[in-house]
């Protein structure tokens, strides 16, 4: 009985009345109004009740406890093409400090098929490199990895425990 079209109509109807609550009957009328439905059938009413409670369960709607609903901030963000404020607030920032980057490069050097003299020169240069240089190196390494999408996907899959 999950109906995405009805869910969207419910969310849009509640968004148009935000921040006010409206009852499920009025919500059903609003949800089916655009379809040109005069009287709402029992099946349609049950669909609105089911989908309203489903959306509330996912925190897209708020129920005041008396059968009146309003759209939540998550519900409004769900309707927005850009994800709304939730997309901004739920952004994950990944930070590496200079020592993390140095350690990762060092690990790569240990596996590299290079003469020890060259490894030593790189190791010394990396140990003295300022953060801005390490940031540039990190960006270049990511770009290089993404030049070979399969290598990047294999690395991601391995980290997630997925076999490709």
What CA–CA distances, in Å, run from 148 to 35, 71, 112, 135, 143? 50, 44, 19, 21, 9
Scanning the structure block, which residue is given the tokens 């920032």? 93
Give residue 20's pLDDT.
92
* Sheet order of strands, 22-23 included: 22-23, 68-71, 61-63
| Omega prior to 19 cis, within 30 of 0 | yes
| Buried residues in 12-32 as b, exposed as e (16+ CB within 10 A) | ebbeeeeeebbebeebbbbbb
pTM recorded for the entire structure: 0.55
pLDDT digits (tens, 9 = 90+) for 50-91: 999 999 999 999 988 888 999 999 999 989 877 778 777 887
Report d(CA 59, CA 44) in Å as an integer. Answer: 22
Instruction: Decide which of 20 and 38 is more confident.
Output: 20
- Return the structure tokens found at 87: 């997309």
Assign a CATH topology to domain 4-89. Answer: Arc Repressor Mutant, subunit A (1.10.10)
pLDDT digits (tens, 9 = 90+) for 88-103: 788 788 788 888 889 9
pLDDT digits (tens, 9 = 90+) for 117-158: 988 898 899 899 998 888 888 888 888 878 888 877 887 788
At residue 17, does pLDDT exceed 80?
A: yes
The SS3 of residue 61 is strand
Give residue 59's pLDDT.
94
Give residue 37's pLDDT.
59
Give residue 34's pLDDT.
63
Residue range 107-117: average pLDDT? Answer: 88
At residue 39, does pLDDT exceed 80?
A: no
Give residue 21's pLDDT.
93
At residue 8, does pLDDT exceed 70?
A: yes
36: confidence class by pLDDT, cuts 50, 70, 90: low
Q: Are 32 and 40 in contact (CB under 8 A)?
A: yes
Where exactly does CATH 1.10.10.10 map onto the chain?
4-89
């Amino acid at each position: 009985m999950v109906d995405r079209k009805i869910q969207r109509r419910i969310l849009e109807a509640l968004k148009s009345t935000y921040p006010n609550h409206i009852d499920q009957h009025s919500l059903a009328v609003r949800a089916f109004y655009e379809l040109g439905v005069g009287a709402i059938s029992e099946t349609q009413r049950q669909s609105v009740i089911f989908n309203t409670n489903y959306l509330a369960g996912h925190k897209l709607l708020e129920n005041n406890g008396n059968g009146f609903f309003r759209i939540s901030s998550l519900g409004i963000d769900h309707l927005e093409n850009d994800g709304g404020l939730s997309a901004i607030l739920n952004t994950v920032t990944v930070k590496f400090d200079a020592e993390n980057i140095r350690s990762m490069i060092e690990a790569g050097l240990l596996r590299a098929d290079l003469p020890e003299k060259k490894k030593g020169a790189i190791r010394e240069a990396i140990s003295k490199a300022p953060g801005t240089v390490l940031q540039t190196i990190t960006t270049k390494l990511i770009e290089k990895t993404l030049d070979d999408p399969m290598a990047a996907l294999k690395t991601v899959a391995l980290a997630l425990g997925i076999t490709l």
